[in-house]
Structure formats: structure tokens, C-alpha cells
Amino acid sequence: MMDAFYIPWMASVLKPEEGEKERSLEGTQFTIPRSLSESTTPRFKLTFFPAKGMAEVIRLTLAYAGEPFIDNRIGFPEWEKRKHEVPFQQMPFLEFDGKILCQSAAIARFLAKQFNLAGKDLFEQAEVDALVDLVKDFGVCIKPWVNSIIKAYSNLPPELDNISPAEGLLQYASPAIERYMPIFENLASKKTKSGFLFDGGITFADFGLVNVFEVMEAILPEKMSKFENIKALKERIFALPRLQKYLNERPKTIL
């Protein structure tokens, strides 16, 4: 079993598997997983914090495509040392062929186009992009709440929002859930030829939506329980054979 990123708040959710020793919950722990192919030198290197966050849709896209990649998860101290080397001074960023690409949606879209996960035609691609942007809007709305959770239980930079998790839930998360989740649920309820969100087949928008839902479900299971169609979509996607190696080997994190 691979070590994961742990903060004390996660202890009540992440239990050691039977026969596994209790891990230390102090500080930040992470590993870089093995590439998805033992015989191929990875072309891509993705760098982000030891969490799902904005990078998980990229990881899922690469994993589904069967593309080996280096999943480089770094903590805040290392990021503070390295951030001035990155064009936008933001994570995630993708390194390949001597190039660096920033911005999570741009990276995911770039890879999705390479691996035919961006939509079957121009109109469907626009629909996919629109949903990806809507999921990102939801993420922006709940970001102060997410930051409050992390800050309350780990040593993070002081510039993060100075609110408690309870205040963040009331002020940011609950209104965002009421605003966006019914829209996502309606989209997930529609019958398509592919069985995913769009007729042309699975796309990186599917990965983006189920990633957000997985995180929210882990933190707020009761609030998420009524969104049955999103949950069913997540279960279908996470059962896909192409994703099993990555899902089984990725570090266990909530956020």
C-alpha cells in the first residue's frame, strides 16, 4: 500500500486497512507512484500538491488513455522553493518534450484532444468545454471552504482565507451545492448513446465531474446522497478496466 497525503482531519475518514499499521498523521506525506507502464519511459510529468484537487482530472485522463506519466506530488515547502521556476507560478503544471504547460483546464483539454477524450465533433467539444468550465466555477465557489479545512488541520501559508470550516460550509459550500449540484445531477440523468455525459463517448468532462463529486461525497456524504445519478456515473467510470491500475495505486486522499 502506498503512503498518502494525510492531515489529522482525515483520520476519522481514512482508516488503516486490516493488518496495516497506523500511519503518522503529522505533517505532509506523499510518494510518487510508479508509472502506469513498467516498460515505457514516461513522456509526461505532472506536478501538483499531494492531493486530488485540480490535477485529478489530468491524472484520470492520462490513466484512461494508457499514457505513462510521472505523478510528482510535492509539499508546500518544496513548492515555495520551486514556484519561481514555473511560468505562471501555479500548480498543476505539465512537463513534456522540454515544454511546460500551466492551468489545469488547459492541460486537461490539451491531453483530451490528443487522446480523443474532448468530444466527437466541434459542437460536442464546445459542450464538453462548457461543462468543464461550470465544474471549475463550482470549484472556485467552494475554494474558501476547502482552504479553511486544510488550514485548520495543517501548516499552510497564512494568506489562505481566515475562516473556520463551519463558517466556510455555511458561507461558501452550501450555497454552491444548492446552485450547481442540481444542474450536474440533471446532466448526469440524461440518457446518452455512450452511457456517459455525452453521446460521443467518455470525455475529460466526465472525469472532472466525478472527481468533484468524489471529494464532496467523502466530506459531506449526507448532502451528496441525493445526487444519485452523479453517484451512478462515478461508479460506472471508476469501474472501467482502463482506470483500475491508477485507482488502485494512487495515494489515498480526501481532497
The answer to the question of residue 92 being in a domain is yes
CA distance 199 to 164: 42
149 and 59 in a common domain: no
110 and 126 in a common domain: no
Strands in 7-83 per DSSP E:
44-48, 69-73
User: How many Cβ atoms from other residues are within 10 Å of residue 68's Cβ?
Assistant: 18
236 and 130 in a common domain: yes
User: 163 to each of 32, 38, 94, 146, 179, how far by Cα in Å?
Assistant: 32, 45, 32, 10, 22
Answer for the pair 202, 116: CB distance below 8 angstroms, yes or no: no
101 and 147 in a common domain: no
Q: Using alpha carbons only, give the angle 102, 108, 113 rounded to the nearest 5 degrees.
A: 120
The answer to the question of residue 255 being in a domain is no
Beta-strand pair 93-96/99-102? antiparallel
Residues of the chain predicted below pLDDT 50? 1-39
CA distance 101 to 94: 5
The answer to the question of residue 69 being in a domain is yes
User: How many Cβ atoms from other residues are within 10 Å of residue 131's Cβ?
Assistant: 21
Q: Which long-range contacts (CB under 8 A, 24 or more apart) does 224-227 make?
A: 224/181, 227/181, 227/184, 227/185, 227/188
Q: Using alpha carbons only, give the angle 185, 5, 216 rounded to the nearest 5 degrees.
A: 15
Q: Which are the contacts of 78, defined by CB distance < 8 A and separation ≥ 6?
A: none
Answer for the pair 117, 110: CB distance below 8 angstroms, yes or no: no
Task: Indicate the number of domains in the chain.
Answer: 2
Q: What is the pLDDT of residues 34-56, one digit of tens each?
A: 444 444 688 999 999 999 998 99
153 and 96 in a common domain: no
CATH code of the domain covering residue 30: 3.40.30.10
**Domain of residue 23, residue span:** 8-116+242-249
CATH code of the domain covering residue 145: 1.20.1050.10
112 and 152 in a common domain: no
Q: What is the pLDDT of residues 186-229, one digit of tens each?
A: 999 999 999 999 999 999 999 999 999 999 999 999 999 999 99
User: How many Cβ atoms from other residues are within 10 Å of residue 232's Cβ?
Assistant: 12
The answer to the question of residue 254 being in a domain is no
154 and 216 in a common domain: yes
CA distance 218 to 233: 16
Q: Which residue is listed with cell 506536478?
A: 47
| Dihedral class, residue 42 (left if φ above 0, else alpha if ψ from -120 to 50, else beta) | beta
Q: Looking at the chain, how many residues does it have? A: 255
Rounded to an integer, what is the distance from CA 28 to the centroid of its chain?
18
Looking at residue 55, its pLDDT comes to: 95
131 and 111 in a common domain: no
234 and 130 in a common domain: yes
Query: Backbone phi, then psi, for 70, in 5-degree steps?
Result: -90, 120
Looking at residue 150, its pLDDT comes to: 78
The answer to the question of residue 1 being in a domain is no
Looking at residue 33, its pLDDT comes to: 42
